[in-house]
Chain A
Amino acid sequence: MSDVTVVYVPRDAASLSVGADDVAQLIQEEAGNRGLSVKIVRNGSRGALWLEPLVEVATPDGRVGYGPVGVGDVAALFESGFLTGGSHALSLGIVDDHPWFSAQSRLTFARVGVVDPLSVSDYEAHGGLVALRKALTMSPGAIVEEVTSSGLRGRGGAGFPAGIKWRAVLQAAGDQKYVCCNADEGDSGTFADRMLMEGDPFSLIEAMAIAGIAVGATKGLIYVRSEYPHAVATMRAAIVLANEFKILGADVLGSGKTFYLELRVGAGSYVCGEETAMLESLEGKRGVVRAKPPIPALEGLFGKPTIINNVMTLASVPWIISNGASKYEEFGTGRSRGTQVFQLAGNVAQGGIVELALGVSLRELVDGFGGGTRTGRPVKTAQVGGPLGSYLPLSSFDVSMDYESLIEIGGMLGHGGVVVFDDTVDMAAQARFAMSFCAEESCGKCTPCRIGSIRGVETIDKIVSGEKRGENLELLLDLCEVMTEGSLCAMGSLTPLPVRSAINHFPSDFGIEPILGGARDATS
Chain B
Amino acid sequence: MTTTWPAALDEDIRNAISHFSQVEGSILLALQTIQETFGYVPDSGLNAVAETCNVSRADVYGVFTYYSDLRSTPPAPYLVKVCLAEACQASGSDALVSDLKAELGLDVHAKSRNEDAEVQSVFCLGNCALGPAVLVNGQLIGRATTAKVRAAIGRTK
Contacts and interface: CB of A to CB of B under 8 A. Distances in A.
A194 interface: yes
Contacts of B101: none
A281 B127 CA distance: 25
Q: 3 shortest A-B CB distances, which residue pairs? A: A351-B129, A17-B142, A188-B85
B25 A302 contact: yes
A346 B131 contact: yes
A43 B86 CA distance: 28
Nearest to B70: A267
Interface string A9-29: 000011011100000000000
A185 B125 CA distance: 9
A14 B142 contact: yes
B68 A14 contact: no
Given A188-B86, A347-B91, A433-B86, 16 more contacts: A13-B127, A14-B130, A188-B88, A191-B128, A194-B126, A227-B81, A227-B135, A228-B125, A267-B31, A302-B25, A345-B90, A345-B129, A346-B129, A348-B129, A351-B128, A433-B89
A344 B69 CA distance: 28
Contacts of B130: 14, 17-18, 49-50, 52, 351
A14 B131 CA distance: 10
Interface stretch (B6-14, B59-67, B111-119): B59-67
Interface string A27-65: 000000000000000000000011010000000000000
A268 interface: yes
A421 B126 CA distance: 17
Contacts of A346: 86-87, 89-91, 128-129, 131
Given A17-B133, A229-B138, A284-B25, A189 B86 contact: yes
Given A188-B86, A420-B90, A302 B125 contact: no
B87 A189 contact: yes
A257 interface: no
A419 interface: yes
5 contacts: A265-B32, A266-B67, A267-B67, A269-B68, A344-B129
Contact of B125 (A227, A344, A352, A441): A227
A16 B140 contact: yes
A419 B128 contact: yes
Contacts of B153: none
Contact of A419 (B25, B87, B122, B127): B87
A494 to B, nearest CB: 14
A284 B29 contact: yes
Contact of A287 (B66, B81, B88, B90): B66
Interface in A376-411: 383, 387
Contacts of A231: 126
Nearest to B94: A429
A190 interface: yes
A343 interface: yes
Interface of A: 13-14, 16-18, 49-50, 52, 185-191, 194, 226-231, 264-270, 281-288, 302, 343-348, 351-352, 374, 383, 387, 417, 419-422, 425, 430, 433, 437, 440-441
B130 to A, nearest CB: 6
A306 to B, nearest CB: 13
A378 B26 CA distance: 51
A229 B1 CA distance: 15
Given A52-B130, A187-B124, A268 B87 contact: no
Given A227-B122, A230-B140, A417 B25 contact: no
Interface in B31-46: 31-32
B127 to A, nearest CB: 5
A345 B69 contact: no
A415 B23 CA distance: 33
Contacts of B85: 188-189, 387, 437
Interface in B105-157: 122-131, 133, 135, 138, 140-143
A467 B73 CA distance: 42
Nearest to A279: B25
Contacts of B25: 282-285, 302
B74 to A, nearest CB: 18
B63 A286 contact: yes
A202 B70 CA distance: 30
B128 A188 contact: yes
B124 A188 contact: yes
A183 to B, nearest CB: 11
Contact of B127 (A191, A266, A425): A191
A50 B67 contact: no
A436 to B, nearest CB: 10
A419 B90 contact: yes
A14 B30 CA distance: 30
B28 A284 contact: yes
B120 to A, nearest CB: 10
Interface in B54-104: 62-63, 66-70, 81, 83, 85-91
A276 B42 CA distance: 29
B28 A343 contact: no
Contacts of B63: 284-286
Contacts of A227: 81, 122, 124-126, 135
Contact of A421 (B26, B90, B138): B90
A191 B87 CA distance: 11
B29 A17 contact: no
